[in-house]
Amino acid sequence: MANTPRFYDEMFGTGDGPRAPYRDYDAWFSGEEVNNLRRKSMQAEALFRLTGITFNVYGMGEETERLIPFDIVPRIITAKEWSTLERGIDQRVRAINSFLHDIYHRQEIIRAGRVPAEMIARNDAFLPQMIGVAPPGNIYTHIVGTDLVRTGENDFYVLEDNARTPSGVSYMLENRETMLHMFPELFSQVKVRRVSQYPRSLRRSLAACQPPACSDYPTVAVLTPGIHNSAYYEHAFLADQMGVELVEGADLRVVDGRVAMRTTRGYTPIDVLYRRVDDDFLDPMNFNADSMLGVPGILDVYRAGGITIANAPGTGIADDKAIYSYMPEIVEFYTGEKAILKNVPTYRCSEPEALKYVLDNLAELVVKEVHGSGGYGMLVGPAASKKEIAGFRAKLMAKPGNYIAQPTLSLSTVPILTKAGLAPRHVDLRPFALASPKGVEIIPGGLTRVALKKGSLVVNSSQGGGTKDTWVLED
């Protein structure tokens, strides 16, 4: 009989009772009836549905609207653990912004031989239109979601960097609000750091990135593709929480060298646009000519200093999975320090030796598209059928440069509530960082995503995953 793999459980550790950060929660949980907690869980689901917290799933024959499952057992992180994560994320975000400024200017990292020139020049996410553009404070990626996984007591890895348009922060906020509503007594027993300040911090951080053309307190707006976008709820939620306008491309036009939004008083200039529209659809004059989602000429206004776009066009190259494999070198090159947070070992399939290894070991590896997201376009070798492995082998051999591969990590588990009580499920964590010329602010917690299927390592909501409230304990 094969040995069952051992996973680090964040609540129970080695199995000798709850770990220190969970002791107060475990004492509370032990005094509760499971059936009562399940009723509370159903009430939480009803609350989410009433609030309208849904997302759209595509590629299933038709568009499907879903509620992301919410598990009421929190994921708890100590102040000491968080301090390490915070320092590591801060270092990484600073390095990413320096990297983006460099590759669109002098490209010193390429001259130094630390990143191959073809990795930039042949990358679809690299925008030649951004060459020579320097946004306020040299901040290119204003909002960053860093996906972290844990394999042991002190072993955290960065799984990927989301530097384009990271999503999920609305779930972080609504998860906490729901837990406060359902279990107020818990928060009097366990001292947890707040996350409710995020919308205020986001607006303050965006305002600090005002463009040269702004001479007063900056006007901020959120640009959404519209109600059919999978993350539309979040776009509307953040605009409402920040107290700014939610706009679509049809609401905007270029007026006197500024991007202006339509109001009842005519067109009013926007200083900072938090866009949730992909690069390709942002400006039909400069990118996809068929786009109906963007603003004709917005890139020209941006390059002239008439508006700040957050995140900046062209930031996608920083969360490309092939570039990810160079992040330890990128961090050291721009900060002069070793990376605090480790990368997952990564095989670049564009390299012949790496490709040979990957093809020989497909059943043991996770293979991802370099531009993929949301859990799509990937192979989890240990969970894949022989047919799936054969299909991916053919894809790899046809276009090896489109893929990277990584070992299958023993992701940590956190219990979820089931009919029988607590059961372990694999999790990851997406903390959110805000970057501005004033520095980097990281909200204490983030979005914990959980694979609700027993044994599954795929936590993405589009693939059946759920979410948890993430607690960072006070000192």
Domain limits, the chain: 212-306, 345-408
What confidence score (pLDDT) does residue 87 get?
98
What confidence score (pLDDT) does residue 58 get?
45
Tell me whether domains 212-306 and 345-408 share a fold: no
What confidence score (pLDDT) does residue 459 get?
84
What confidence score (pLDDT) does residue 50 get?
79
CA distances from 250 to 220, 260, 264 (A): 17, 11, 15
The whole-angstrom separation of Cα 410 and Cα 3 is: 14
What confidence score (pLDDT) does residue 372 get?
65
Which architecture does CATH list for 212-306? 3-Layer(aba) Sandwich (3.40)
CA distances from 460 to 56, 218, 284, 323, 373 (A): 13, 35, 31, 22, 9
345-408 maps to CATH 3.20.20.70: no
What confidence score (pLDDT) does residue 62 get?
46
Q: Mean pLDDT in each 10-residue stretch from start to end of the chain (475 residues)?
A: 64 88 95 93 87 57 66 97 98 98 98 94 92 95 97 93 93 95 94 97 98 93 93 94 97 96 93 97 94 95 97 94 93 97 93 93 91 70 89 92 90 93 95 97 96 85 84 94
What confidence score (pLDDT) does residue 381 get?
85
Phi, psi for residue 405 in degrees, rounded to 5 = -135, 150
